[in-house]
């Protein structure tokens, strides 16, 4: 059965979310609707609907006009086994000592590496994005420099690959991995089990640090936050409250040109820069809380 995608962009979140909600009432109704902030620094939001029958061009045009969106682009999505395709296309990733791979590549794990299994179907957080690689490399550098954090949190954890990497190379308290999205938390918990890290990583549903378990475990010696510029800046005061004096934070999800704004916000919150690495147009920052 063919699938049709209808995509457009808008300049702000409120109109994008309103358009997404309005698309749910279309006839034929979409099988799914997504609303996402684009990661190219443009400030635009993308709204997409997926249909099992061609959507009404007139209805899409009316919705676009009502919410100030660009004209929808409608295309037929090829009938492809996407998981199989991703497995073919996504090769294992080496980031420092970490080897991130799908289960189909388990026979390729090199000696002396730290393997992490993330299935291809899990998309963001497989290790192939420059931000994830940058965070893994930053963790590896800190460890090689002799830093041994015991209390660790991964805020906005996605697949929990960063939390698992930290748990795999050190002994200490339970690593806490939190995400605002309930599905992401389920995926993270499944990955923890698949990597044999039950009892070493705990997955929580939380917005930022807003969870009693996170509050009770603070202050943290190391905090990951691989999210986006806006949320990172908004979290700077909370980061300072939850990071131990002398503790580190590893931040990413940033385009290179966005890094200075984040550095400014964290300097104001009491952090100093330790390292920065740019990969594939994305910046990863390692900061230390002063004091």
CATH number for the domain spanning 45: value is 3.30.70.260
CATH number for the domain spanning 145: value is 3.40.50.150
Measuring CA to CA, which residue among 139, 159, 102 is closest to residue 248?
Answer: 139
Same domain, yes or no: 44 and 183: no
Backbone angles phi, psi at 273, to 5 degrees: -75, 135
Give the global pTM. Answer: 0.72
Same domain, yes or no: 144 and 266: yes
Same domain, yes or no: 39 and 158: no
Based on the structure, what is the number of domains in the chain? Answer: 2
Residue finishing a domain among 41, 62, 77: 77
Same domain, yes or no: 178 and 276: yes
Same domain, yes or no: 277 and 139: yes
Query: What pLDDT score was predicted for residue 81?
Result: 54
Residue 232: which domain range? 129-289
User: What is the gyration radius of the CA atoms in the chain, in angstroms?
Assistant: 20
Same domain, yes or no: 54 and 174: no
For residue 184, being part of any structural domain is answered with yes
Which residue ranges in the chain fall short of pLDDT 50?
Answer: 82, 86, 89, 121-127
Query: What pLDDT score was predicted for residue 137?
Result: 95
How far does Cα 124 stand from its chain's mean position?
A: 6
Tokens of 213: 């378990």
Residue finishing a domain among 58, 77, 96: 77
**pLDDT for 39-72, tens place per residue?**
666 788 999 999 988 999 999 999 999 999 999 9
Question: How do beta strands 93-95 and 3-10 pair?
Answer: unpaired
Query: What pLDDT score was predicted for residue 271?
Result: 98
Q: Give 58's contacts (C-beta < 8 A, 6+ positions apart).
A: none
Same domain, yes or no: 35 and 148: no
Beta-sheet strand order (sheet of 220-226)? 201-205, 175-179, 152-155, 220-226, 243-255, 282-289, 271-279
For residue 29, being part of any structural domain is answered with yes
Residue finishing a domain among 77, 110, 139: 77
């Amino acid at each position: 059965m063919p699938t049709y995608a209808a995509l457009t962009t808008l300049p702000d979140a409120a109109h994008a979310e309103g358009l997404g909600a309005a698309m749910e009432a279309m006839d034929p109704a979409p099988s799914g609707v997504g609303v996402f902030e684009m990661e190219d620094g443009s400030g635009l939001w993308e709204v997409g609907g997926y249909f099992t029958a061609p959507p009404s061009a007139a209805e899409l045009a009316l919705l676009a006009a009502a919410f100030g969106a660009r004209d929808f682009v409608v295309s037929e999505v090829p009938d492809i086994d996407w998981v199989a395709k991703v497995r073919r296309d996504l090769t294992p990733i080496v980031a420092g000592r970490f080897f991130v791979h799908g289960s189909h590549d388990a026979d390729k794990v090199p000696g002396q590496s730290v393997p992490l299994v993330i299935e291809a179907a899990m998309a963001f957080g497989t290790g192939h994005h420059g931000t994830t690689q940058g965070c893994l490399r930053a963790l590896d550098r800190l460890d090689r420099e002799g830093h041994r954090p015991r209390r660790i949190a991964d805020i906005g954890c996605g697949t929990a690959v960063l939390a698992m990497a930290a748990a795999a190379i050190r002994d200490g308290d339970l690593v806490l991995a939190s995400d605002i999205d309930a599905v992401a938390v389920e995926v993270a918990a499944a990955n923890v089990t698949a990597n044999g890290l039950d009892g070493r990583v705990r997955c929580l549903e939380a917005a930022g640090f807003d969870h009693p378990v996170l509050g009770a475990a603070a202050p943290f010696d190391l905090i990951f936050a691989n999210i986006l510029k806006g949320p990172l800046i908004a979290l700077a005061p909370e980061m300072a409250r939850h990071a131990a004096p002398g503790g580190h934070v590893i931040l990413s999800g940033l385009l290179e040109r966005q890094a200075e704004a984040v550095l400014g916000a964290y300097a104001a919150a009491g952090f100093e820069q330790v390292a920065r690495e740019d990969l594939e147009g994305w910046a990863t920052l390692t900061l230390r809380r002063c004091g």
